[in-house]
Amino acid sequence: MPHLPDHLLTGYRNFMNGRYLAESGRYRSLAREGQSPETMIVACCDSRAAPEAIFDAGPGELFVLRNVGNLVPPYAPDDQFHSTSAALEFAVQSLKVKHIVVMGHGRCGGIRAALDSTAAPLSPGDFIGKWMSLIAPAAETVSSSTFMTATERQTALERISIRYSIANLRTFPCVSILEGKGRLSLHGAWFDISTGELWVMNKDTGDFERPEMT
């Protein structure tokens, strides 16, 4: 029995004979000089919404953090483990990224769980239930609306959660200070898996709009 699934070994072989071969100089440069991406992406760990694929990014171009629901918790410097906060701190203070993009996506399982925490196989006692409670107030408000369909409620919360995460980003001193100095910009985006559409959050209104594509 192989130590890795066959499809991963096949993929690695294709990578070495394809992309790595074509960009070997770039990889050697990154290994020698280190990474210096200008943009951090906070995205969902859903396998269907990979930022590197969506934005056609090469090696070293994006610093990507993925978790369930693309959430950013509020600043909480305590004795607990904070993987998302640690990655954010590293990106801002060590890599000195210039942009942070919170990118949600359609048909998000984490958001669906937030709207209905009793849905199988998830429950409030699981890790996912605790994690998604970060947006519980918004989930309660959205789920109580009888004027929207289930699909509309999910899309609404997917986009609201992006605004929540951006608001939580600003609770981090390293983020708020640099944003105030104009050295860091925060952005929101939402990707539709089914159609491939990308919607970008208007910084002034909070609305999601389709960017002009030339």
pLDDT digits (tens, 9 = 90+) for 144-171: 999 999 999 999 999 999 999 999 999 9
8 A C-beta contact, residue 114 and residue 157: yes
Q: What is the pTM of this model?
A: 0.95
End-to-end CA, the chain: 50
pLDDT of residue 123: 60
pLDDT of residue 213: 82
- What are the φ and ψ backbone dihedral angles of 133, each rounded to 5 degrees? -65, -10
pLDDT of residue 126: 75
pLDDT of residue 127: 86
- What are the φ and ψ backbone dihedral angles of 154, each rounded to 5 degrees? -65, -45
Element (H, E) at 200: strand 198-201
Residues (pLDDT < 70) of the chain are: 1, 117-125
Structure token pair of residue 176: 């708020």
pLDDT of residue 119: 65
pLDDT of residue 120: 58
pLDDT of residue 143: 93
